[in-house]
Amino acid sequence: MLIQDQVFIVTGSSAGIGAACATSLAAKGGRIVINCTKSEEDARGVAAACEAAGGAAIVVQGDVSVDADCHKLAEAALSSWGRIDGLVNNAGTTKFAAHADLDALDAADFQRIYGVNVIGPYQMVRAVAPAMRAQGRGVVVNVSSVAGLLGVGSSVAYAASKGALNTMTMSLARALGPAIRVNAVCPGFVETGWLESGLGAAYARQKEAFEAMTPLNSVLSVDDVADAVLWLIEGAQHVTGILLSVDSGLHLGGFLRR
């Protein structure tokens, strides 16, 4: 898929991986719907960066766990540019909790995390699918996590939600082809302010541990993840239903040996 003049919705794109995806698409001439839940000022900064990179951008506030907001995002893209070519489901949330502490999570935690990480992407796909089908093509990339492959990460609820997102990726790839391709990127440890805030004082120690345990002795930048997302959009025309691990080899099991 050529990105020039194509229209993409990137959820959760006011910072981090979402912002990197948005600006990378804009640098190739894309037209981007920037989405935020609360941080509208940050989202407008990303939109400005997209325009400076050579693309076009609008900002739409909305919570993907709310179906009406998902339709609002789709309608904003259609009213601005008349089409929707791609969707990057990046919005996500978690609660940091040790996996062994079964009292650290309750039903409300699971429901909130699943609402954003699983139901949100489903609702976004449902909102954009009619336009993509009418055009005869479209692409969806879900930003998942190796947590969903390995049962690791910030909490049991987060890992479970990403496992569900991975399964849903394959299910939707079957259901929506041939017009719509659906894939997922599964990053490992990514250097973001979101993760640093969540881990607090443990961030530097965790980063060093992940660098030591992976075959490539490295962690990821947000641009590394954005590069993988862009490949699935523009360079993988015969690829659908894959779970692409971008994790410096973490999925090979170094953490088990450690």
Each domain of the chain, given as residue ranges in start order, spans: 7-248
Enclosing H/E stretch for 24: helix 16-27
- Mean pLDDT throughout 183-196? 90
The whole-number pLDDT of residue 257 equals 45
| Rounded Cα–Cα distance for residues 47 and 76 (Å) | 15
Indicate whether 141 pLDDT > 80: yes
Q: What is the DSSP string of 186-232?
A: EE-SB--HHHHHHHGGGHHHHHHHHHHHSTT---B-HHHHHHHHHHH
pLDDT digits (tens, 9 = 90+) for 15-38: 999 999 999 999 999 999 999 999
Binned at pLDDT 50, 70 and 90, residue 216 comes out as very high
Q: Which of 114, 122, 158, 203 is catalytic?
A: 158
Q: How high is the mean pLDDT of the chain?
A: 95
The whole-number pLDDT of residue 203 equals 84
Taking Cα atoms as reference points, which of 157, 178, 19 lies closest to residue 91?
19
CB neighbour class for 152 (10 Å; exposed up to 12, middle 13-18, buried from 19): middle
Taking Cα atoms as reference points, which of 242, 193, 199 lies closest to residue 222?
193
Cα separations (Å) of 29 from 17, 38, 47, 128? Answer: 19, 27, 13, 21
For residues 121 and 168, is the Cβ–Cβ distance under 8 A? yes
Question: Which tokens in the block code for residue 188?
Answer: 């490992």
Q: What is the DSSP string of 137-187?
A: -EEEEEE--THHHHT-SS-HHHHHHHHHHHHHHHHHHHHHTTTEEEEEEEE
Taking Cα atoms as reference points, which of 7, 33, 31, 22 lies closest to residue 137?
7
The whole-number pLDDT of residue 46 equals 98
For residues 25 and 10, is the Cβ–Cβ distance under 8 A? yes
The whole-number pLDDT of residue 209 equals 85
Q: What is the CATH number of domain 7-248?
A: 3.40.50.720
The whole-number pLDDT of residue 254 equals 60
Question: Which tokens in the block code for residue 85?
Answer: 């070519």
Is residue 122 among the annotated active site residues?
Answer: no
Cα separations (Å) of 108 from 102, 113, 157? Answer: 14, 9, 11
Question: Which tokens in the block code for residue 116?
Answer: 């954003």
Q: What is the pTM of this model?
A: 0.95
- Mean pLDDT throughout 218-247? 96
Binned at pLDDT 50, 70 and 90, residue 258 comes out as very low
